[in-house]
Chain A
Amino acid sequence: MNSPPSLYRRAAFRWLLSLVAVSAFTLLSGCDRLPGFLNPGGPIAHAQREHLGFVILMVMIVVLPVLVLTPWLVWRYRYSGQASYRPRWSFSKLIDVLIWGVPVIVVGVLSVVLWQKTIALDPYKPIESDKTPLEVQVIGFDWKWLFIYPDQGVATLGRLILPTDRPVSFTLTSATVMQTFFIPALGSQIDVMNRMVTRLHLIAEREGDFMGRNIQYNGEGFYKQQFTTQTVSQNRFDTYIDQIRTQGHTLDQGAYALLKAQNTWKDVANALSDDPPPPAPMVAFSQVPDGLFHAIARHQPVDWAGLAESSDAASNTSERAIQERNTQ
């Protein structure tokens, strides 16, 4: 008995889907260690990967006929062949409707999804969660990133420690030329510029070490401007922060001069002859001048005097106020 044609079509569609899934799987299988968003570590990268698959499938509606029909046309209408020859035929209304119409529909569908996804995955949009977001201030130096945890009053270099399942709210600027902050497995990249403040929201859904880096060329040490993003449970996170608070360096003028120099975080670590607390390797700062981020972003003098008796609470409130002003 013949099955109805729609069943055939559905079967063919299912086969196509499984083909795509299998090839995607082979690409990813055994590749837990694959860097990048194809092996996502958070919902944003997940959504980006999904959207990529959707766009590829949609555009294939237009591209696949080109890939298949072009070789066929060359063969079918070859010079030595016997296919029909109509040298004056140069227009068909029906075909024209088709070749304009199909791309219009495809782009239409893509546009609707693009609009929704662009707004849903906007890096400036805070991530909805019942937990309060962790604030992290990121400062790009020449060939290293400084991560300040204003609520905790500490800072790190070379390693970004984040709790899982808790939104992270980044506030970013550059102390030098333009660069771009990027943790592919967690989500979007964002440019950082001197005298400007940009924002980024990410969340990690599993524990692990993820590659993070600068992806905008900024000179000789660009290729070394990488860091490890380590995602841990909230308890672990708190332990690490406590250890940094008790065992870290003070980010004083000497240390700051090291940061301003053109070098990598490993050079800074060597210069401080550091013995950092776990999770090494990194550079840990137990004390950060009040409003350091603000001072760098706005080209204002850094308040070194308050370093000794800095109180976390005071600095937090002032930072918050600045951030809110910036986002408006």
Chain B
Amino acid sequence: MTDESSFLLGRLGWDALPFWDMIQNPTRESIINGIIASGAAGMVVLGALAAAALITWYGKWKVLWCDWLTSVDHKKIGIMFIVIALLMLLRAVIEAAFMRAQQAFGLGGGFLSPEHYGQLFTTHGTIMIFFMAMPFLTGLINFVMPLQIGARDLSFPVLNSVSFGLTAAGAALMMISLVLAPFSTGGWTGYPPFTELQANPGPGVDYWIWGVTLSTLSSTFSGINFAVTIYKKRAPGMTLMRMPLFCWTALCTSILMIFGMPPLTVATGLLALDRYLDFHMFTADLGGNMMNYINLFWAFGHPEVYILILPAFGVFSEVFSTFSGKRLYGYTALVIATMAIAVLSFTVWLHHFFTMGQSAHINAVFGIATMLIGIPTGVKIFDWMLTMYRGRVRLTVPMVYAVGFLILFSIGGLSGIILATPSIDYQIHNSLFLVAHFHNMLIPGLLFGMLAGYTYWFSKAFGFQLDARWGYRAAWSWIVGFMLAFFPLYALGLLGMPRRTVAFFDPVYLPWTIAAGLGALIILYAIVCLMAQLWVSIKRRDALATPGGDPWDGRSLEWDTPSPVPEYNFPVLPQVNSHDAFYRQKCDGAPHESPARYEPITIPKNTAMGVIIGVSGTAVGFGLTWHMWWLALAFSAVALVAMIARGFARNTTWTLDAEAIERQQRAWAHQLEQFEPITRQWEQSEANRGVPVPPNEGAIQ
């Protein structure tokens, strides 16, 4: 294949295939790496083919198109976000297991080539942040937040679908890069000048640029959508200070997304200008300055940390309160602490590069600012503990994640304060200590929060609970696996072992890397448990069904609806008078009150905008990466025309008539009467039909 010159294929040639190098230069190293890479590519291709075959076999293409891909229902978009997150979680955990295995055998060599290892840590980081964590939390907020504030949808349902399309496009690029390699080796941070043309002319960095750019655009739009929804669409009586804490964290996260995401879009955009049009933003010569990139990156990167963690804090607040059967301790303090964290998160970005040679005073100021964040975070930890105090703590699956979080996250906080201290950071920056620290925040913090939320709200989305036995196995394996995989990295970091190193030469490191490798195996088992849980639960969906809609004796408005939730969410918008609005109704003995009269409801129509933008985004990103200019131009035109055409669409809603709503609600009310209300003792059993014993009749005691 000729390179560069091909009009049709740009610089895409046979050498992009993951097994090409193995065939051309068969050495032991190239064969091992070729087999691993080809196996991964094969899984992507076979997985896609199998999915297409199954959909065809069951004749579900129409369902997929009409009920999911073109839907603008916030609940369905939320679920699709989480599907992407779980798929990408699976891929990135497998990559992590390969990296841990490499380091367990890494004394003087190992089995992965340095190039392959570089791609692994870059894709692992990029995927976990942009295509696992972001879609997971965006999906959860999408699904839960409108229900909790008593709204029927987000403010901009079509924009929501476009956001999903953009994230899906980025994720698709990541998956394509497995088949048509290589990906970048510049790490998820992509620091120039390493990512500039001179050091890395290949397509890898371009894949990274466009994947990340699509994701940041998506998150900016989501942030705008969520913030406007929370400001404008709360149910009557739902004042800001009556919102469930999850909505507060969603609001803070949205604000951070609006201000935090654009710096990265700009940074990757400028880097693209350097690479495509010979600009010199971040090059060493001709007036460029890489430090500008690093500042822009962390102007995004630090708020991003709190974008990731705040929704998890929100989930834990709901979980602790619900499963302690008790009001959340210190609601006002928690709101203040959340806001304080959001504001402070913009003032600490420099702590990501204390070692760059700025003056000691600047380092000290940013070090102290960083430690300040520890104060509201510490307060939150104690607030959650005090929520359990004098409660009735039920150690359900979400609660196992939550308790594990409290303990492990505090240890991560300790290592965070250590890293915030510049004089110590000069010793452990860029070492595995840093890797251990941020995994300690992101696994027990973000991921446990997301998995707790997934378990907690699953029945709301699908009408049946997740199997508890496999849930416990997954949760405990995550906790044990995390400790075994990452606590050794603290020791390795203190012993001076760098991050991102494919191999090492000091035998002192070996016992620790082997321990970490075993931890990775346990985490793999946790993933298997999660898959088994889903499989078993779907098999037993009739036995695990909770159509009553309130399986946990919940406190906020989302539990006031049937499971699964009807498209319009609430037949009439609820009137809110206090915190824990639904719990209050139950205490007053009048949950699910039916209105005197039902009104017709206007619902936005399906649209293909999300799909069009998603497909165009993938094609443009792919075309730019491989220099297929015709592809990039053509699909830019498609996206532009679609956006303009959408502006002329007039008939964008449909109306559900009152009788249909009344019929559905009556049927549900009738169903509710059939079910035996249960006490909390039976909440994870098949007896749970989603109807709890009312609080005043001893639901808890």
Q: Tell me whether A51 and B424 are in contact (CB under 8 A).
A: yes
Most buried by B among A38, A78, A177, A219: A177
Q: Are A96 and B333 also in contact (CB < 8 A) when A117-B421, A178-B191 are? A: yes
Q: Tell me whether B360 and A122 are in contact (CB under 8 A).
A: yes
Complex CA–CA separation, A327 to B127 (angstroms)? 41
Q: What's the minimum C-beta distance from B219 to chain A, rounded to whole angstroms? A: 26
Question: Which residues on the B side are within 8 Å of A226 (C-beta)?
Answer: 505
Q: Tell me whether A90 and B356 are in contact (CB under 8 A).
A: no
Contact partner, B383, options A37, A88, A99, A223, Cβ 8 Å: A99
Contact partner, A74, options B363, B403, B681, Cβ 8 Å: B403
Q: Which residue of B lies closest to A87 (CB)?
A: B326
Q: Is B655 an interface residue (CB 8 A)?
A: no
Complex CA–CA separation, A120 to B423 (angstroms)? 9
Range for the number of chain A residues in contact with chain B: 35 or more
Q: What's the minimum C-beta distance from A122 to chain B, rounded to whole angstroms? A: 4
Q: What's the minimum C-beta distance from A114 to chain B, rounded to whole angstroms? A: 5
Q: Tell me whether A178 and B114 are in contact (CB under 8 A).
A: no
Question: Which residues on the B side are within 8 Å of A42 (C-beta)?
Answer: none
- A59-67, A127-135, A151-159, A315-323 - interface stretch: A59-67
Q: Are A110 and B386 also in contact (CB < 8 A) when A62-B378, A119-B361 are? A: no
Question: Which residues on the A side are within 8 Å of B505 (C-beta)?
Answer: 226
Question: Which residues on the A side are within 8 Å of B495 (C-beta)?
Answer: 34-36, 38
Q: Is B593 an interface residue (CB 8 A)?
A: no
Contact with A along B377-405 (1 / 0, CB 8 A): 01101110111111111110000000100
Q: Are A55 and B417 also in contact (CB < 8 A) when A37-B496, A223-B114 are? A: yes
- Tell me whether chain A's interface is mostly helix, strand or loop, or mixed: mixed
Most buried by A among B330, B360, B372, B423: B423
Number of inter-chain CB pairs below 8 Å:
265
Q: What's the minimum C-beta distance from B186 to chain A, rounded to whole angstroms? A: 8
Q: Tell me whether A188 and B194 are in contact (CB under 8 A).
A: no
Q: Is A139 an interface residue (CB 8 A)?
A: no
Contact with B along A72-112 (1 / 0, CB 8 A): 01100111000111111111100110011001100100110
Q: Tell me whether A90 and B330 are in contact (CB under 8 A).
A: yes
Question: Which residues on the B side are within 8 Å of A120 (C-beta)?
Answer: 423
Question: Which residues on the B side are within 8 Å of A90 (C-beta)?
Answer: 326-331, 387
Q: Is B410 an interface residue (CB 8 A)?
A: yes
Q: Tell me whether A178 and B290 are in contact (CB under 8 A).
A: yes
Q: Which residue of B lies closest to A299 (CB)?
A: B285
Question: Which residues on the B side are within 8 Å of A247 (C-beta)?
Answer: none
Complex CA–CA separation, A90 to B390 (angstroms)? 10
Question: Which residues on the A side are within 8 Å of B329 (C-beta)?
Answer: 90-91
Q: Is B359 an interface residue (CB 8 A)?
A: yes
Q: Tell me whether A33 and B421 are in contact (CB under 8 A).
A: no
Contact with B along A176-218 (1 / 0, CB 8 A): 1110101011011111011110110000000000010111111
Q: Which residue of A lies closest to B353 (CB)?
A: A191
Complex CA–CA separation, A55 to B494 (angstroms)? 15
Complex CA–CA separation, A268 to B429 (angstroms)? 29
Most buried by A among B430, B505, B701: B430
Q: Is B343 an interface residue (CB 8 A)?
A: no
Q: Is B700 an interface residue (CB 8 A)?
A: yes
Question: Which residues on the A side are within 8 Å of B499 (C-beta)?
Answer: 217
Question: Which residues on the A side are within 8 Å of B411 (C-beta)?
Answer: 63, 67
Q: Tell me whether B193 and A178 are in contact (CB under 8 A).
A: yes
Q: Is B618 an interface residue (CB 8 A)?
A: no
Residues facing B in A40-69 (CB within 8 A) are 45, 47-48, 51-52, 55-56, 59-60, 62-63, 66-67, 69
Question: Which residues on the A side are within 8 Å of B506 (C-beta)?
Answer: 35, 211
Question: Which residues on the B side are within 8 Å of A14 (C-beta)?
Answer: none
Q: Tell me whether A100 and B389 are in contact (CB under 8 A).
A: no
Question: Which residues on the A side are within 8 Å of B361 (C-beta)?
Answer: 118-119
Complex CA–CA separation, A36 to B495 (angstroms)? 5
Q: Are A56 and B326 also in contact (CB < 8 A) when A114-B364, A125-B360 are? A: no
Q: Tell me whether B355 and A189 are in contact (CB under 8 A).
A: yes
Contact partner, A187, options B192, B394, B426, B498, Cβ 8 Å: B426
Q: Which residue of A lies closest to B383 (CB)?
A: A99
Q: Tell me whether B360 and A119 are in contact (CB under 8 A).
A: yes
Q: What's the minimum C-beta distance from B185 to chain A, rounded to whole angstroms? A: 7
Q: Is A124 an interface residue (CB 8 A)?
A: yes
Question: Which residues on the B side are within 8 Å of A240 (C-beta)?
Answer: none
A contact residues vs B (CB 8 Å cutoff): 33-38, 45, 47-48, 51-52, 55-56, 59-60, 62-63, 66-67, 69-71, 73-74, 77-79, 83-92, 95-96, 99-100, 103-104, 107, 110-111, 114-115, 117-125, 176-178, 180, 182, 184-185, 187-191, 193-196, 198-199, 211, 213-223, 226, 299
Known: A91-B330, A110-B421. 6 other contacts (CB 8 A): A67-B407, A88-B327, A90-B331, A188-B426, A189-B426, A198-B357
